[in-house]
Amino acid sequence: MKPILQAEGLRKSYQGVKAVADVSLTVSAGELVALIGPNGAGKSTCFNMLSGQIRPDGGRILIAGTETTGLQPSDIFRLGVGRTFQVAQTCLSMTVRENVQLALQSRHGGLRGVRTLLSRFDRRFAAEADALLDLIGLAPQANRPCHELPYGDIKRLELAIALAGAPRLLLMDEPAAGMGSEERAGLMRLTAAIARERQLAVLFTEHDMDIVFSHADRIIVLSRGTIIAQGSPSDVRAHPGVQAVYLGTGIFAIGDP
Ligand SMILES: Nc1ncnc2c1ncn2[C@@H]1O[C@H](COP(=O)(O)OP(=O)(O)OP(=O)(O)O)[C@@H](O)[C@H]1O
């Protein structure tokens, strides 16, 4: 299968400290790949290079065959890279539908400053927003202001906002952080179903190993900026290097089949 994301030899150092050293990875359409590793392994640095927040010191990034290395985040977004953050990025004073409408309007180039936004909130995108809310199961909440929503619904809304950008690659930074265990599994099942249906490539980071090992198609393990293992959940679980990195954390006792 042709990869949507191809990263080759990515490197980034801070004051001589190698945060990421020679990382190459791919994610294909419809595939959920987890990028895991202990604190400081280089996961955020990789994500920030892929979405354009950080310029790599070396290496290349291609999205559906187009090189995006060193482009601005807005250009990378236009080339089909969406991102959700650990702390949800919704506008709490607006309704659920308005948040998605705003994201759709932004994608279609309809935002020309805050004054325009406030005076001419574009109704054209209401139907498309409702279709997305339906997809993620938030249609009944469409008219509620976001500040009234439970945290789990805010995280699902964030997924709808990211999907409004029509990404080919979705980067999800700890999507399940702060959610209860039922909600976490629900969000990941939903993400997997959408990824398959829309042939979306998904790369996510996550500290919750139950989520990673239950939902990822493939797992890439970083340690000190280098990939030490990758493969199916069962291959990665059995990898001695991975067990050594996580030794003493109890992680592999929790999720063992
Ligand atoms: N802006 C920065 N300036 C200096 N060092 C940095 C900077 N950002 C990251 N680092 C260092 O780079 C390394 C990788 O950090 P990074 O945040 O990418 O890891 P991570 O795997 O995302 O960690 P966590 O799981 O704790 O978020 C760490 O040693 C970190 O201290």
The CATH number assigned to the domain holding 187 equals 3.40.50.300
Write out the DSSP string of 4-72: EEEEEEEEEEETTEEEEEEEEEEEETT-EEEEE-STTSSHHHHHHHHHTSS--SEEEEEETTEE-TT--
Q: What is the pLDDT of residues 139-192, one digit of tens each?
A: 999 999 988 888 888 889 999 999 999 999 999 998 888 888 888 899 999 999
Confidence of residue 248 (pLDDT cuts 50, 70, 90): low
Tell whether 180 and 75 lie within a shared domain.
Answer: yes
Tell whether 172 and 148 lie within a shared domain.
Answer: no
Judge whether 85 lies within some domain.
Answer: no
Q: Provide the domain count of the chain.
A: 2
Tell whether 176 and 201 lie within a shared domain.
Answer: yes
- Average pLDDT of 96-121? 69
- Average pLDDT of 123-152? 89
Per-residue tokens: 165:
């950008």
ipTM tops 0.90: yes
Exposed/middle/buried for residue 45 (C-beta within 10 Å: 0-12, 13-18, 19+): buried
The pTM for the full model equals: 0.90
- Average pLDDT of 22-50? 96
Per the CB < 8 A criterion, the answer to whether 230 and 220 are in contact is yes
Tell whether 161 and 49 lie within a shared domain.
Answer: no
Per the CB < 8 A criterion, the answer to whether 77 and 134 are in contact is no
Q: What is the pLDDT of residues 190-238, one digit of tens each?
A: 999 999 999 999 999 998 898 999 999 999 999 999 999 999 999 998 8
Q: 38 C-alpha to center of ligand 1: Å? A: 11
Write out the DSSP string of 181-236: HHHHHHHHHHHHHHHHHHT-EEEEE-S-HHHHHHH-SEEEEEETTEEEEEE-HHHH
Tell whether 74 and 180 lie within a shared domain.
Answer: yes
Residue 116 has pLDDT above 60, yes or no: no
- Of 107, 133, 165, the residue that ends a domain is 165
Whole-number Å distance between alpha carbons of 94 and 44: 29
Tell whether 175 and 256 lie within a shared domain.
Answer: yes
Q: Which domain holds residue 224?
A: 1-80+167-257
Please state the atom number of ligand 1 nearest to the C-alpha of residue 46: 18
Per-residue tokens: 186:
């629900």
Q: What are the residues facing 6 on neighbouring strands?
A: 26, 62
- Of 133, 165, 197, the residue that ends a domain is 165
Q: Is 215 in the pocket of ligand 1 (CB under 6 A)?
A: no
Planar angle of CA 203, 204, 210, nearest 5 degrees:
130
Nearest CA to ligand 1 atom 2: 14
Tell whether 76 and 181 lie within a shared domain.
Answer: yes
Nearest CA to ligand 1 atom 8: 45
Q: Is 42 in the pocket of ligand 1 (CB under 6 A)?
A: yes
Q: Is 19 in the pocket of ligand 1 (CB under 6 A)?
A: yes
Tell whether 76 and 172 lie within a shared domain.
Answer: yes
Q: To test ligand 1's pocket by mutation, which of 14, 47, 246 has the most ligand atoms within 8 angstroms of CB?
A: 14
Judge whether 200 lies within some domain.
Answer: yes
Query: How high is the mean pLDDT of the chain?
Result: 87
